[in-house]
Amino acid sequence: MHVIFIAIGSAGDINPLLALAKTASDQGHRVTFCTHPPFAEVIVDCGLKFVPLGTADDYFITVKDPAMWNSRTSYRAISSSVAWTTRVVFDTLEAEADDDTVIAAHQVAFGARLFHEKYNVPLLSLQVSPAGFISAQEPPVLRPVCVPRSLPLPLRKSLTWAMERFILDPLFAPELNRFRATLGLPPLKRIMSSWSHSPQGIIGLYPNWFAPIQRDWPKNLTLTGFTLFDQAGVRGIDTEVEDFLASGSPPIVFTPGSSYVDRAAFYTAATTALKALGLRGIFLASDGETLPKSTSNILERSYIPLSTLLPRVRALVHHGGIGTAALAYAAGIPQLITPYAFDQFDNAARVERTGCGFSIKALPNGTRMTESIKRLLNDRLIGEKCIEYQLLTESGENVCRKALTALESFAGERGRSFGHLSSRRGL
């Protein structure tokens, strides 16, 4: 079986698919991993064939756009990116797919969904975050528009329909339908709820306790758990970090992820809180990033694998990325979340529901950060919940094996669709 993975987004989107791709390769399947060029090194280090989607400049122009990380403008920004990526993904699959191919792709990899529709090549959707499901039963927590869960179900259904009809479809449909017309395919509506996921199968890479399946989610959905992948297999903890961890009380880790927000304000608030509370911290910041004046109680690094670091720290302050939250659950530590855009708000709400942390509702400043960290560390119930959910979090290896079994079963059931791809293309 030749599995082509299509991964679009930041590290939190790429890593769960990369974990599954590595497991598939280790089990003897032929794997091609298609994503943004900045992730090439880690993909090659995992022993996989890498195929770029666009250029590194394309990627950084997108992720460094302030509109992408402003909740008021983020969906308009991502719709422009998706429109461009759709053609790139479709063309890449035209070049890479063969008669033994199964495609495993993110929800926003519209080019993969189009390729399946055009050529009937088996397609499995991989959902890394539950916020991607349009639901009235359990509306995802999104910004700037959110359907309150407290409303009666009929009203939630009406508002959910209106959100897709008047907000999401106008953003995503025009460019998608123009491209569909060039392929001889009819126009679409209700893109995110009725079309973006594969009609053949979906794997949710998170556990049921984090996001129970809802009645109005797709019926062909299997949940496997968090893959818990980072770069621990190829990058370790250096001596200075080891010495810092051993020289005092467990620190607090701060990271805004790959979000290009006001990172200076984030780290300034963190520095203020650590000083006020007499605590130590580790800042995970990009190389060359301007940070507050360094002190002996703070260590700075561009990257440390969280799977090896978090079990040795006291708490994690982060942006609400699904991969980061998953690794905190696995480490059994409290989470303070500062969401900025996309699924981060929904992930934060789910962390709160499990009792393993909470979010700062406004952009953090020194006072908010200090009060929130103090509350996080002093709440005994949060500590107890963290231990409870740590025990419920399966190992990444087990989850990847379960996900691969589901992928293999999916491919086996659709073996009749294999073959004759060349003839369907008219070659």
Phi then psi for 47, rounded to 5 degrees? Answer: 80, 25
Cβ atoms of 80 and 67 closer than 8 Å: no
Domain membership of residue 421 (yes or no) is no
**Same domain flag for 189 and 246:** no
Q: Is 318 exposed, middle or buried (0-12, 13-18, 19+ CB in 10 A)?
A: buried
Question: What is the structure's pLDDT at 75?
Answer: 75
**Does 403 share its domain with 388?**
no
Indicate whether 341 and 376 sit together in one domain. yes
- Residue 199 belongs to domain with CATH number: 3.40.50.2000
Whether residues 7 and 116 share a domain: the answer is yes
Same domain, 77 and 206: yes
Looking at the fold, whether 377 and 360 belong to one and the same domain comes out as yes
176 within a domain of the structure (yes/no): yes
Sign of CA dihedral 295, 244, 319, 356: negative
* Per-residue pLDDT of the chain in tens (427 residues, 90 and over written 9): 999 999 998 888 899 999 999 999 999 999 999 999 999 999 999 999 999 999 998 888 877 777 776 767 777 777 777 888 999 999 999 999 999 999 999 999 999 999 999 999 999 999 999 999 999 999 999 887 789 989 999 999 999 999 899 988 999 999 999 999 999 999 999 999 889 999 999 999 999 999 999 999 999 999 999 999 987 776 778 899 999 999 999 999 999 876 666 678 889 999 999 999 999 999 998 766 667 777 889 999 988 999 999 999 999 999 999 999 999 999 999 999 999 888 999 999 999 999 999 999 877 889 999 999 999 999 999 999 999 999 999 999 999 999 999 999 988 876 644 455 655 555 4
Burial of 145 (0-12, 13-18, 19+ CB in 10 A): middle
Quick one: 380 and 411 in the same domain? no
What local confidence, expressed as pLDDT, does residue 422 receive? 57
Q: How many domains does the chain have?
A: 2
**312 is a domain residue:** yes
Give me the phi and psi of 222, to 5 degrees please. -120, 130
Question: Is 354 in the same domain as 257?
Answer: yes
Q: How far apart are CA 210 and CA 275, in angstroms?
A: 34
User: Rounded to 5 degrees, what are φ and ψ at 127?
Assistant: -105, 115
State whether 155 and 66 are in the same domain.
yes
Per-residue pLDDT at 53: 95
DSSP 163: H
Residues 93 and 34 in one domain: yes
In a domain, 234, yes or no: no
Provide the CB-side half-sphere exposure for 114 (13 A, CA): 31
Query: Does residue 119 belong to any structural domain of this protein?
Result: yes
Task: List the domain range (segments joined by +) for residue 116.
Answer: 2-228+395-416
Task: Look at residue 100 in the predicted model and tell me its pLDDT.
Answer: 93
Residue 275 counted as domain residue: yes
Same domain, 121 and 221: yes
Cα(57)–Cα(80) distance, rounded to whole angstroms? 16
The CA distance from 103 to 126, in Å, is 10
Q: CA-CA distance, 297 to 247, in Å (whole number)?
A: 10
The answer to the question of residue 233 being in a domain is: no
Q: Are residues 27 and 71 in the same domain?
A: yes
Residue 123 falls inside a structural domain: yes
Of the CA atoms within 13 Å of residue 322, those in its CB half-sphere come to: 26
